[in-house]
Amino acid sequence: MTSRPVTRIDAKVAALSAEGRPALVTFVTAGDPDYDTSLAILKALPKAGADIVEFGMPFSDPMAEGPPIQASTLRALKAGQTMARTLQMVRDFRADDATTPVVLMGYYNPIYSYGVERFLADAKAAGVDGLIIVDLPPEEDDELCIPALEAGVSFIRLATPTTDDKRLPAVLANTSGFVYYVSITGITGTASADPTRVADAVARIKRHTDLPVMVGFGVRTGEQARAIAAAADGAVVGSALVNAVRDSLEDGRATARTVPAVTGLVEELAAGVRAASRAG
């Protein structure tokens, strides 16, 4: 492929590498539990210690997600979240933050419904840096991956414990930004990651690519983040943050505890990740 411009993801990864520390990547669902609260959470994440923020694009059939993220998606949809509102949320975030990488994560159906060309143009203009689309395999790269790369938006691929050395080259072929290693099999939010197995898997993936490897699924606490970050280029946390939102609600609505509940956990996770760099 031809060379592409340096993205916010590339710049952040390079800066963290220069510091000698792993990244903390945080996931929350756009529009959960409502637009204003969700935007407040998004804006607070970098200040709390998140290096890269992932925003879930609500979809009515999030088949790869466990109950926490499924529930957050339903809350967001009930509150009126749409693709257009998710892109507007990124624009609102960018009004105050020009540097933190923003990755949209979700499924192809809402993008297809919005229109691929229109979506990529609007996402790029809004300030989106990357996409993680869990239900588009490499065989479907012409659908979205290649157009995204041509538009200057990174396409981040998932690798799993079942992605063997024969499959990895196809998975990595058009991947950019970073590789997201799913540390456990199954749906999100259901088990804890094994740092030893993660370290072995990261080493195997790195034999195939120079891209950083971020590890998610099964990371809920600062100590778990430290252990995983020590074995990888970064830790990704989603279900625990979504649960923090859920547990702060009253009758499904945000309270004064909602934003602090998320940022408090992010601060703990960030401390764990930074401890990993000192340990290394």
The least confident of 1-15, 19-33, 37-51 is: 1-15
Confidence of residue 191 (pLDDT cuts 50, 70, 90): low
Tokens of 178: 């970073």
- Scan for tokens 């509150």, then name that residue: 79
**Domains assigned to the chain:** 8-274 (3.20.20.70)
Average pLDDT over residues 183-191: 57
- Scan for tokens 């990547």, then name that residue: 25
Alpha-carbon gap, residue 138 to 170, rounded angstroms: 6
Return the DSSP state at 138. Answer: G
More confident residue, 50 or 4: 50
Average pLDDT over residues 222-242: 94
- 267, 259 contact by CB (below 8 A): no
Judged against a pLDDT cut of 70, whether residue 255 lies above it is answered with: yes
Cα dihedral 48/53/54/55 (nearest 10): 70
Q: What pLDDT is recorded for position 183?
A: 85
Confidence of residue 1 (pLDDT cuts 50, 70, 90): very low
Q: What pLDDT is recorded for position 195?
A: 78
Average pLDDT, the chain: 92
Average pLDDT over residues 226-233: 93
- 261, 244 contact by CB (below 8 A): yes
Average pLDDT over residues 130-136: 95
Confidence of residue 184 (pLDDT cuts 50, 70, 90): confident
Tokens of 38: 């969700």
Show Cβ contacts of residue 135 under 8 Å, excluding neighbours closer than 6 positions: 63, 64, 107, 108
- 262, 39 contact by CB (below 8 A): no
More confident residue, 159 or 5: 159
User: Helix %, strand %, coil % for the chain, to 5?
Assistant: 50, 15, 40
The catalytic residues are 54, 65
> What is the side-by-side strand order in the sheet with 23-29?
154-155, 130-133, 102-106, 52-56, 23-29, 234-237, 213-216, 179-182, 158-159
First to last CA, the chain: 34
Q: What pLDDT is recorded for position 2?
A: 47
Q: What pLDDT is recorded for position 189?
A: 45
Judged against a pLDDT cut of 60, whether residue 186 lies above it is answered with: no
More confident residue, 277 or 261: 261
Q: What pLDDT is recorded for position 278?
A: 55
